[in-house]
Amino acid sequence: MKKLLLMSAAALLMSTGAFAQTTTIAPTTGAGHATVQIEPQYRTRIHSYITEHKIRPVQTREKIVVGATVPSEVELEVVPPDWGPSLTRYRYVYSGERVMLVDPGTRTVVQEID
């Protein structure tokens, strides 16, 4: 019985590791927005896309950070479909070697993709 309990506990601990690799964010503004999940394989695709397409970072006076509003003169880019279905409602900005997801309705940065 003791062995069964130990094996069950070990299986439970191993299964929680898979959940820890998924980042879940809630948009900082707006009502009724669903939670966004970014799976590890999509993070890899995003970084590959930026590198392969030689996306140039935008230059702004102020650093673009989560929760900040992106200045109106900065063009928001369309999120490619292969970044994952949960991200296509957002736009992105590549700034300071960081990919920032932006709510296009409010121009608020909701997530930094590291």
**pLDDT bucket at 1, cuts 50 / 70 / 90:** low
Q: Give me the residue spans of the domains in the chain.
A: 23-113
**∠ at Cα 42 (49, 105), nearest 5°?**
80
**pLDDT higher than 90, residue 15:** no
Determine the residue type at 11: A
CB 97 within 8 A of CB 50: no
**pLDDT higher than 80, residue 107:** yes
What top-level class would CATH report for the domain 23-113? alpha beta
